Amino acid sequence: MSAPVRVRFAPSPTGYLHIGGARTALLNWLWARHTGGTFVLRIEDTDRERSTDEAVRAILDGMRWLGLDWDEGPDIGGRYGPYFQMLRLDIYRAYAEQLVKAGKAYACYCTKEDLDAQREVARAEKRQFLYPGTCRDLPYDPSRRHVIRFRLPKLLEVTFTDLVKGPITRPGSTLQDEVIVRADGVPLYNFGAVVDDVTMEINLVSRGDDHVNNTAIQVLLYEALGYPVPAFAHLPMILGADKTRLSKRHGATSVTAYRDMGFLPEAVVNYLVRLGWSHGDQEIFTMGEMVKHFGYDHVGATAGVFNPDKMVWVNQTWIKSLTPAELARRAVPYYQAAGLAVEGDARLPDVAKAFQERAKTLVDLVAQSRYLFAPVEMDPKAREKFLVPDAAPVLQGIRDGLAASATVDAAGLEKLFHDVAAGRSLGLGKVAQPVRVALTGGTASPGIYDVVLLLGREESLRRLDAALALAAS
């Protein structure tokens, strides 16, 4: 029996939750849930220049919206806390001292400027720059400003096995005495992450593959610290259409931006999991199905291009699958954002039902159904084509029929429309289209009977009268 899985997502709070970070978080979460293990959320805020509380909030919000709950981390704590690196400085200091005492790390007094200059020279000579070990054997002088560097052991190469890429080997000659603690005592990424993963007993490190090159030095750090090396799973990057790393240039990259565009969290998660992972031919997954089937053996090794069209399709598929009541509930905030007061409107579920096969996003749903909650905004082209004198008798026929009927229902409307069409030897389209323009202001909508029903008799009559006036002029 192997130890229970402990995985983590460790974002640095320097911006919003990126779509790529969300996928990393998702896969870790899935593995934890699949195995019954623990999902840890840790905030790597040691870059004080760029870390902000606002970003922490944005990341937590994004995770919650996606439905990725953490078992240990910010807000809820846990027995391996704290879960903010800046609150763990004592821990790093202790481990750093341990390494220095053991001669596995040392104080380096070189200045940043000096090193930059050396790098510059190396570049000019087209030479690879590796720290030459200038301070390697200097006596320790705490009164001088210094960083702590890891003393690279003598070795030929470092090898580790990656769950998605297989064995990865890196020549020792490309490694250097990396700085692990800054002059101000704050650890650098490679050290902080290793110490945290050790002390939090993380046994699988699954992260973006932009970290593969850090892994060798981290493996050495685990060994120097005397701890077992965890398993690694480096997830391929998400690329833009031009095959470069996905960035702002390619459009929205933050999870919240997709929320605001009207994507369902189920759809975002569904799309992201399929970008790099597969389960046969299945495209649509509920969270439960993902948890059940997920495994690193089917995580692909290739970087994937983010395809907005497919994500829209996934979203549309999810919108269709919700019950009308649930869809209506989810749409309310989007109506409000559009300035439409819909709370308490009993038609909402019916509206959702009428539009759920047409809406690509919740924003789209609101836009398409706007005329049900606001005055008609007449499309000039539609008016010009359909609200013409020829259409007046038809509109009048529908108007009168509607006014004469005591109750309105789908069957009655169907009869009315067919009678008016038959009475003038017209196809149904010749009747439905002018009415559609009259009621909605445009040429595309749900079935015309549904529109009348949703609008109600009085409002429909009002709009028909207004259209009649336009058709006559």
Amino acid code (one letter) for 323: T
Which CB, 135 or 466, lies closer to RNA? 135
Judged by CB under 7 A, the stretch of 58-66, 174-182, 251-259, 325-333 that binds RNA is: 174-182
CB of 126 to RNA, least distance (A): 6
Distances (CA, A) of 420 to 145, 415, 456: 92, 9, 20
Check binding of 322 to RNA (CB under 7 A): no
Q: If residue 13 lies in a helix (H) or strand (E), which one and from where to where?
A: none
Check binding of 141 to RNA (CB under 7 A): no
- Site for RNA, residues 29 to 88, rule: CB under 7 A: 44, 46-47, 50
Structure tokens given for 347:
């038609």
Q: Please identify which residue in 6, 7, 8, 12 interacts with RNA, judged by CB under 7 A.
A: 12
Q: Does 248 qualify as catalytic in the annotation?
A: yes
Check binding of 171 to RNA (CB under 7 A): yes
Q: Please identify which residue in 34, 165, 330, 462 interacts with RNA, judged by CB under 7 A.
A: 165
Provide the CA 44 distance to its chain's centre, in angstroms.
Answer: 19
Judged by CB under 7 A, the stretch of 57-65, 68-76, 273-281, 457-465 that binds RNA is: 273-281
Judged by CB under 7 A, the stretch of 62-70, 96-104, 180-188, 259-267 that binds RNA is: 180-188
Judged by CB under 7 A, the stretch of 56-64, 96-104, 272-280, 372-380 that binds RNA is: 272-280
Q: Please identify which residue in 278, 321, 396, 405 interacts with RNA, judged by CB under 7 A.
A: 278
Cβ contacts of residue 319 below 8 Å, gap of 6+? 264, 267, 327, 356, 359, 360, 361, 362, 365
- Site for RNA, residues 400 to 459, rule: CB under 7 A: 427-429, 432-433, 436, 443-449
CB of 338 to RNA, least distance (A): 19
Check binding of 383 to RNA (CB under 7 A): no
DSSP 78: -
Check binding of 262 to RNA (CB under 7 A): no
Which CB, 88 or 436, lies closer to RNA? 436
Pairing of strands 147-150, 105-108: antiparallel
CB of 212 to RNA, least distance (A): 5
Check binding of 210 to RNA (CB under 7 A): yes
Pairing of strands 179-181, 147-150: antiparallel
CB of 72 to RNA, least distance (A): 18
Structure tokens given for 24:
């990393």
Q: Please identify which residue in 53, 112, 125, 473 interacts with RNA, judged by CB under 7 A.
A: 112
CB of 3 to RNA, least distance (A): 25
Q: If residue 122 lies in a helix (H) or strand (E), which one and from where to where?
A: helix 112-124
Instruction: Print the binding letters for residues 142-161 with RNA: x by CB under 7 A, - otherwise.
Output: ---x-x--------------
Check binding of 283 to RNA (CB under 7 A): yes
Residues 353 and 385: beta-carbon distance below 8 Å: no
- DSSP H stretches of helix in 297-369: 308-321, 324-337, 348-355, 362-369
Judged by CB under 7 A, the stretch of 91-99, 176-184, 222-230, 339-347 that binds RNA is: 176-184
- Other Cβ atoms closer than 10 A to 214: 15
Which CB, 46 or 253, lies closer to RNA? 46
Structure tokens given for 363:
């924003």
In 3-state terms, the chain is what percent helix, strand and coil (to 5)? 50, 10, 35
CB of 363 to RNA, least distance (A): 15
| The residue count for the chain | 473
Q: Please identify which residue in 15, 313, 401, 466 interacts with RNA, judged by CB under 7 A.
A: 313
In whole angstroms, what is the distance from residue 200 CA to residue 186 CA?
Answer: 19
Bridge partners of 286, per DSSP, are: none
Catalytic residue, chosen from 101, 126, 165, 248, is 248
Which CB, 159 or 336, lies closer to RNA? 159
Structure tokens given for 292:
């059940």
Residues 294 and 30: beta-carbon distance below 8 Å: yes
CB of 168 to RNA, least distance (A): 4
Amino acid code (one letter) for 180: I
* Dihedral (Cα; 318, 447, 330, 375), 10-degree rounding: 150
Mind telling me the catalytic residues? 248
